[in-house]
Structure 1
């Protein structure tokens, strides 16, 4: 029984640490702010030392519960906050959204025009571009990769454009609408691929949660004014640096999953594979339409399932 409780306690501690790490940092910062205002935490520790063991254990357990509960509460706001960071804003911010999209549209148009000028100097066989041309071409190409394929789908924020680019490119390259196809493709992905995607998504969510913890840290400002710059700096760093970079990683993995594993979806749905790259857009669009609303057409014909090898 001792070994059983020890193992259970270890697993519980690992789970608590995985969920409550950022919350623990938040509350430790709040304790430091309180100590700064009260000239230390000696009164609190003295009170705790005077209590009997059951009261001390109850106080520690209550502190752990508060930390875990706050972590779970913040987690509930991660998805709505990510939607805001993508640029899905309320109507009363519509004027700002339109203005930002208009600026991005102008930049995107200029980048496309310059890219078309540089592309013949860089990509043809035997081309000998100078270093500055290569640098500029790579810079513009990277910006284009992090924006939606169509200018009409531009979002007002960097995070929104990165994630929309990941959603739009499978449709532009293969005719597969990511919103429709992704839940089906996810079920067919190899375990290693799913783990990589899950890890990237958790990292993205942690970046969003960091911005929330930074804003919440401002509640300690009545105890110590240094909570204001620390909270604002944390939130700004998460919004401007951490979350966009992690969104890029996640978006690239989603696009790569379509690049590498889309044929598995065709095979499991018994849908004929495109014979040539030029046929893939049309075939993918038909498959998307079939998954979205079904079909009563007689074409294309389902491919016979592969024979089951005897054991």
Structure 2
């Protein structure tokens, strides 16, 4: 039993180490290649290799372990930076001198959303009647997708990444009256394993794309050894910010919203709170439930009697 436990634990640790260390290993190998290029070729490795070969076996093992620990430590540091960097990419915590730019971007996105909504309303009658052209159908679908990625009631973040994640955070409040920040930890514990695994995997993928952006920016530090480190590092960072992070943020946002869409009733049942009777009532009940989770209550309603619930 214990041997099986330690085998499973070891496998998990190895998997975790590989996930953290693989990007760091690629980064440092890239730095090594930059150093080798600055020295004129791979023959530059001969001197360090000869020095290592002259050391005793324990010393060689210690040196290799220190290198691996250094690689792992750099991976852990970057992993810890993914959340604040993601917040920065969303549009939070911008420096004071960028606040005017942030304000202009938000206002531009609001104006664009208003314009798109007007166009969407113009196209909807023809789409519903089946008389819309292929171009109109394409435009209608494009605007519908943009609306899905926009927070309710209007965009309030300066970047595509920020609005995508904000849309997932505000949608449950707008549709069901449930505050994501207050309710999500409770709902997470009630999700089935399959749903939790899918959401966790999407979050890990999102964090990995943010980490790729960080690694790309840091790769520029190897420029003193070779100038190609600048376009290589910035290229990875730009691709990450423009493509990888937004696309993975959309997947994570979709799954987060789907968790509320599919399993919110389980939350009512576990908290013994009266379930909503219709869509309008759902917003009211969701707001009351959110308030209850945040502040508690000393009220006498709703009345709980075993598994029976009375309406508020």
TM-score by length of 2: 0.90
Q: C-alpha deviations, 1:110-168, integer Å up to 9, x for none?
A: 11111111122223xx53322111101110000111110112x5100111100000011
Distance 1:96 1:133 in 2: 33
* Match of residue 160, structure 2, among 152, 158, 161: 158
Deviates more, 1:129-138 or 1:254-263: 129-138
Q: Does 1:127 align with 2:130?
A: yes
Tell me if structure 2 keeps the 8 A contact 1:23–1:70. Answer: yes
Q: C-alpha deviations, 1:247-298, integer Å up to 9, x for none?
A: 1000000000000000000001111111122321122122112222223333
Tell me if structure 2 keeps the 8 A contact 1:272–1:303. Answer: no
Q: How does 1:291-310 map to 2 (within 5 A)?
A: 291-302=293-304, 304-305=306-307
Cα separation, partners in 2 of 1:222 and 1:190, compared to 1, 3 Å = same
Tell me if structure 1 keeps the 8 A contact 2:20–2:79. Answer: no
Deviates more, 1:33-42 or 1:288-297: 288-297
Cα separation, partners in 2 of 1:184 and 1:230, compared to 1, 3 Å = same
* Structure 1 alignment gaps of length 5 or more: 307-311
Q: Does 1:170 align with 2:172?
A: yes
* Match of residue 258, structure 1, among 260, 263, 267: 260
Alpha-carbon shift at residue 12 of structure 1 (Å): 5.4
- Name 1:309's counterpart in structure 2: none
Q: C-alpha deviations, 1:197-230, integer Å up to 9, x for none?
A: 1111111111111111011111111001110001
Distance 2:305 2:130 in 1: 45
Q: How does 1:17-56 map to 2 (within 5 A)?
A: 17-39=18-40, 40=42, 41-56=45-60
Deviates more, 1:37-46 or 1:206-215: 37-46
Alpha-carbon shift at residue 303 of structure 1 (Å): 6.2
Distance 1:14 1:131 in 2: 48
Distance 1:261 1:246 in 2: 23
Distance 1:300 1:140 in 2: 42
Aligned alpha-carbon RMSD (Å): 2.1
Cα separation, partners in 2 of 1:254 and 1:13, compared to 1, 3 Å = closer
Alpha-carbon shift at residue 71 of structure 1 (Å): 0.5
- Name 1:228's counterpart in structure 2: 230
- Name 1:96's counterpart in structure 2: 101
Q: Does 1:74 align with 2:78?
A: yes
Distance 1:266 1:10 in 2: 38
Residues paired across the two proteins, number: 300
TM-score by length of 1: 0.91
- Name 2:211's counterpart in structure 1: 209
Per the alignment, in what secondary structure is the counterpart of residue 225 of structure 1? coil
Distance 2:305 2:199 in 1: 30
* Structure 2 alignment gaps of length 5 or more: none
